[in-house]
Amino acid sequence: MSKEPQNTPATPKSGDRIAKVLARAGVASRREAERMIEAGRVSVNGKVITSPALNVTGKDRIIVDGKALADPEPARLWLYHKPTGLVTTARDEKGRETVFDALPEDMPRVMSVGRLDLNSEGLLLLTNDGEIKRKLELPSTGWVRKYRVRVKGEPTDDMIAPLRKGITLDGERFQPMTVSIDRQQGSNAWLTVALREGKNREIRRAMEAVGLTVNRLLRVSYGPFQLGTLKQGEVEEVRRRVLRDQLGLDGESETRTPVRRRKGKAAALTQKTDRAKERADARSGQSATKPAFKGKGSAKAGARPGTRPKGAPSGRPSGKPSAKSTAKPSAPRGSKR
Known catalytic residue at 101: no
Residue 143 inside a domain? The answer is yes
**DSSP secondary structure string for all residues of 47-77:** EEE--S--EE-TTS-EEETTEEPPPPPPP-E
Check whether residue 165 and residue 54 sit in a common domain: no
* C-alpha distances out from residue 120 to 98, 133, 294, Å: 13, 20, 17
% of the chain residues with pLDDT over 70: 70
Band the pLDDT of 109: cuts 50, 70, 90: confident
Check whether residue 117 and residue 135 sit in a common domain: yes
- Three-state secondary structure call for residue 80: strand
Band the pLDDT of 266: cuts 50, 70, 90: low
* Amino acid at residue number 268: A
Alpha-carbon distance of 309 to 194, in angstroms, equals: 12
Check whether residue 145 and residue 214 sit in a common domain: yes
CATH number at residue 53: 3.10.290.10
| Residue from 16, 92, 101, 117 carrying the catalytic annotation | 117
* Amino acid at residue number 146: K
Is 8 buried (19+), middle (13-18) or exposed (0-12) by CB count in 10 A?
Answer: exposed
* Amino acid at residue number 220: V
Average pLDDT value over all residues in the chain: 78
Residue 291 pLDDT more than 70?
A: no
Give the pLDDT confidence of 40-90 residue by residue, as tens digits: 999 999 999 999 999 998 889 999 999 998 877 788 999 999 999 999 988
* Amino acid at residue number 18: I
The whole domain housing 52 covers 16-68
pLDDT top residue among 163 and 93: 163
Rg (CA), the chain: 22
CB 199 within 8 A of CB 48: no
Alpha-carbon distance of 297 to 233, in angstroms, equals: 8
- Beta pairing, strands 77-82 & 55-56: unpaired
User: Which of 215, 248, 263 lies at the terminal end of a domain, its last residue?
Assistant: 263
Check whether residue 105 and residue 135 sit in a common domain: yes
pLDDT top residue among 54 and 315: 54
Check whether residue 93 and residue 210 sit in a common domain: yes
Give the count of domains, the chain: 2
Check whether residue 141 and residue 216 sit in a common domain: yes
Give the pLDDT confidence of 117-163 residue by residue, as tens digits: 999 999 999 999 888 888 898 887 878 999 999 999 999 999 999 99
